[in-house]
Amino acid sequence: MNIVTLKPSKEKSLLRRHPWVYANAIDRVEGKPAPGATVIVRAADGRFLGRAAYSPHSQIRARVWSFDENEPIDHAFFKRRVQRAVADRRAMVSGTGAVRLIFGEADGLPGLIVDHYAEDAGNGRGQLVCQFMAAGVEAWKEAIVAALTSATGCPNVYERSDVSIREKEGLEQVTGLLAGDEPPETIVTNENGVRYHVDVRNGHKTGFYVDQRDNRALVQTYASEREVLNCFCYTGGFSLAAMKGGAKRVVSVDSSGEALATAQKNVDANGFDAQRATWLDADAFKTLRRLYDEGERFDLVVLDPPKFAASREHVDRAARAYKDINLTGLKLLRPGGLLFTYSCSGAIDSALFQKIVAGAAADAKVDARILKRLGAGVDHPLLTAFPEGEYLKGLLLQIP
């Protein structure tokens, strides 16, 4: 039996049901657990705390599977967890062909992300795309894939574990087919009445930013007759939503010509008037300043940049970057204009992000009002004991 015993008083976070055990909290390890092996975590006085996946190369040395002493970690365990997660999504999410089925710790499967893309044409069972980001789920990959295909009825499973966090777990980055057929070049899926081409093999994350679904719907609601600027647009998620909502003009900026080409395919797929859309293959920081200097103004601006802070060491630099784009974004708004602004940097919490945006508003000399706090949809649930799960945060602001 592999047992991890914690130092005195280090059990407090687990008693609050936080699922991570850090290396510096461990007093001793009995046995020789391999990467991903199940260990029993005990307090210094011997009390049972949880069953966890051991990761000898990571500072997060163990991730808790279960706080129930009587629950074994076996194939049946993963089948139950996957079935529960899939049932939750079916009950909670509708109107979309792109759903996050499993969201790591929140679904009791730490380190696992699974998205499902249904084909808009309805002539197939779609595509499951997985990211195995920790030693525990890597060790149980076969059982997890079997549970997924059984619970969803979707036979096609593709892996996109090409994420740097795997290196901290002592794992190589990998991609490839896990079950069923190879995915097509793109899958066309429907979200809130908008058709999107999704490249699950080469696109960002699992191919699409599923977490922004509700926020795209909100942009769609407010876009009517407005001129819209969408920076860091990727394949045009917010841009297409704005066009669907009746925007007069949409200017979209991204530094990937390949992503912009897919965005233009999305315009065609929806039958939108291409004259309403302008696609700029350019640096968003420089383009924001150039548009302002040229006297351009917009009624709605979306700022959805990539992660600026990969860890806490990068917070100061990231804060300057967020302030830079928000300062110019606010200055580009006409009176009454709306700013949808986001951060997906887990190291920057909601309070700090609001403080950064407030500083940008002060420097822009505008009285920005927060109309709504924004985040991921219900298929990205948050454990009350695990604030680290809230990586996406956003604000909808209006200036007078």
Give the C-alpha separation, 229 to 234, whole Å: 13
Q: Which of 130, 154, 231, 344 is catalytic?
A: 344
Smallest Cα–Cα separation from 305: which of 356, 345, 332, 338?
345
Give the C-alpha separation, 18 to 134, whole Å: 16
130 is catalytic: no
Pair of tokens at residue 51: 């069953």
Give how far the C-alpha of residue 299 lies from the chain's centroid of Cα atoms, to the nearest Å: 27
Beta bridge partners of 29: 4
Amino acid at 280: L
Contact between 35 and 170 (Cβ < 8 Å): yes
Amino acid at 194: V
List Cβ neighbours of 83 (8 Å cut-off, separation of 6 or more): 147, 150, 151
**Alpha-carbon torsion 320, 324, 326, 327, what sign?**
positive
Give the C-alpha separation, 64 to 49, whole Å: 9
Smallest Cα–Cα separation from 265: which of 179, 188, 163?
188
Task: State the helix-helix crossing angle for 257-270 and 237-244, rounded to 10 degrees.
Answer: 20
**Alpha-carbon torsion 167, 172, 177, 182, what sign?**
positive
Determine the Cα angle at 393 with ends 281 and 253, to 5°.
10
Contact between 312 and 347 (Cβ < 8 Å): yes
Pair of tokens at residue 163: 């994420």
Contact between 134 and 53 (Cβ < 8 Å): yes
Give the C-alpha separation, 11 to 5, whole Å: 9
Q: Are strands 227-231 and 249-254 parallel, antiparallel or unpaired?
A: parallel
Smallest Cα–Cα separation from 356: which of 303, 400, 311, 310?
303
- Catalytic residue IDs: 344
